[in-house]
Chain A
Amino acid sequence: MGIWFPLLLSLKVAICATALNLLLGVAVAFGLSRWRSPLRDLVDSLLTLPLVLPPTVLGYYLLVLLGRRGVFGAWLERWGINPVFTWEGAVIASTLVAFPLIQKAARAAFENVDPQLESAARVLGLPERAVFFRVSLPLASKGITAGALLAFARALGEFGATLMIAGNLPGRTQTLSVAIYAAVQAGDDRGANILVVVASITCVVVLLIAGRLMPDRSRLRVY
C-alpha cells in the first residue's frame, strides 16, 4: 500500500473542504453578525452542533440524507450524483465537521470590526457591497485566516464522518487517517508506522506554511 495516495487524497479533501468553508462560513458568519432576531441563538446552536456531535453521528446523518434512499440522495441520484463512497463524500464530511471552526472565528472577527469604520465608509458614499469588501472583510481577514487554518487542520485529520460516508476504499476514498486505522486493523505495523510519521510530518509542514500565510502583521503594528 502506497503512502502517496492517502496523503494526497487527504490534502485534496482538506483543501476543497476549506475552500468551501471559506465561502459558506464567511457568508453565514457575516449574516449572523448583522442579524437581529430571537432566532439567532437557535440557529447559532444548530450551526455549532457539528463541533459537539460525535463525527460518527454526523456521518450517519449524512448517509441518511445523501444515501440512495435519502431525502437529498434520491434527488441527487436523478442527476447521476451519488456522493456515498466517493472522495467528494469525504469533502462533504470534512466540510460539515470543520464548518463551525471557521464560522465562529469569522463571526467573532466581524463583530470585532469597529462599526464606526463601516459608518464612515457609508457616509463617504460606499454601497453596502463595497463596505463589506473594502472595510469589513479586510479588517476581519486575520480572524478568518486563523479560523481557516483550524478548519484545514480539522479537515485533514477527519476520520469518523469520512469513514461513514466515504468508506475505506484503498486507492479511492482511503484518506491518511482512515489508512492508518486500516493498517492497524490489518496488523500491518510497518505500514501504520510509516503512515503515522507521514501524518505527523505533514502536520508540522502545514503549521509552518500557516505561519507564513498569516496576514502581514507588521503593517498594522503600532510604532
Chain B
Amino acid sequence: MTVDISFRRLLADTDRRFELDVAFHSTSRRVVLYGPSGSGKSMTLRAIAGLLTPDDGRIVVNQHVLFDSAKGVNLTPQVRKVGYLFQDYALFPQLTVAQNVAFGMRTGILNPRRSSMPEAAARWIDAFELGAVATHYPSQVSGGQKQRVALARALAAEPDILLLDEPFSALDPPLRVRMRSELAALQSRLDLQMLIITHDPADVDALGEHVLEIRDGRIFSDSAATGS
C-alpha cells in the first residue's frame, strides 16, 4: 500500500502562470493533502487518475507504474484502477442509483439495465444502505446518499487506491461530521489506501494519518518528515 509521486506540470496562459511541482511518498492508509483552493490539490488528483498529463515525473501506486516520463509510460485513466470521488460526486443524472453503482461493472456500449442488477452491485447497495433508493435518480436522493452512491460506484470497480476530492464540501455541516466518521469506519473495514484532498482543517483532524500541506503547487510540509 504505497503511493509514490513526483511530477511537474506547468500551466500558463497570458495572465496566469502556475507551476505544480509535487513530490511525496506514503505508505499510510490515510493520506490527506491539505491546502487552500488554487494550491494544486485537484490537479494532483487529476494527474494520478490520468485526467491530466504531467510534463515530466513519475506516478507509482502499489508498485504499479501509472506514469513515467523517462520511460514513456502514460496509462489511460481506464486502466489505472484508481477510484475517484468527485467533489460534486459526478453521478450520472440519467441513470438510477443502482445503475450508477453498477456503471463500471460493464464496459460495453450499453448502460446496466434498470430492471436487473449484477449481484456485486446489489452487495454494494446493501453495504451502503441504498436499497430504499436504488431505483431513484440522483436528483431525488439526499446529499449524504449521493456521496454513498458515488463511493459505492467507485469501490465497485475494485480500485487500488481511492482518491477523494473535497469529499464533504458539498454536504451540510452536521452531515459532514457523520459522513466523516462513516468514511473512517469504511476505510478501516476495506483495507484500501485513500488520498483525500481538502481545505477543511476538520477533515485533517478526523481523517489524516499522513498529512501533507500543499501551497502554491508545492508540498509545504509533510507530517511524516517532521515526525509530528
* Cα(A74)–Cα(B189), bound, Å: 72
Q: Count of chain B residues with Cβ under 8 Å from any Cβ of A?
A: 30
Residues of B within 8 A of A53 (CB): none
The answer to whether A135 and B92 have CB atoms under 8 Å apart is yes
Residues of A within 8 A of B137 (CB): 219-220
| A130-160 contact mask (Cβ, 8 Å, vs B): 1 or 0 | 1001110011000000000000000000000
* Cα(A130)–Cα(B76), bound, Å: 15
The answer to whether A120 and B86 have CB atoms under 8 Å apart is yes
Closest A residue to B165 by beta carbon equals A116
Residues of B within 8 A of A133 (CB): 109-110
* Cα(A125)–Cα(B50), bound, Å: 12
Closest A residue to B77 by beta carbon equals A122
B115 to chain A, nearest CB (A): 15
The answer to whether A125 and B90 have CB atoms under 8 Å apart is no
Given A119-B51, A122-B76, A134–B109 Cβ distance below 8 Å? yes
Interface of B is mostly: loop
The answer to whether B94 and A138 have CB atoms under 8 Å apart is yes
* Cα(A133)–Cα(B109), bound, Å: 6
Interface of A is mostly: helix
Q: Does B108 contact A (CB under 8 A)?
A: yes
A175 to chain B, nearest CB (A): 37
Closest A residue to B88 by beta carbon equals A116
- B residues bordering A, Cβ < 8 Å? 49-51, 76-80, 82-84, 86, 88, 90, 92-94, 103-104, 107-111, 137, 139-140, 153-154, 157
Q: 16 interchain pairs (CB within 8 A)? A: A116-B88, A117-B92, A119-B51, A119-B77, A122-B76, A123-B50, A125-B104, A125-B157, A127-B78, A133-B109, A134-B111, A138-B94, A219-B137, A220-B137, A222-B139, A223-B140
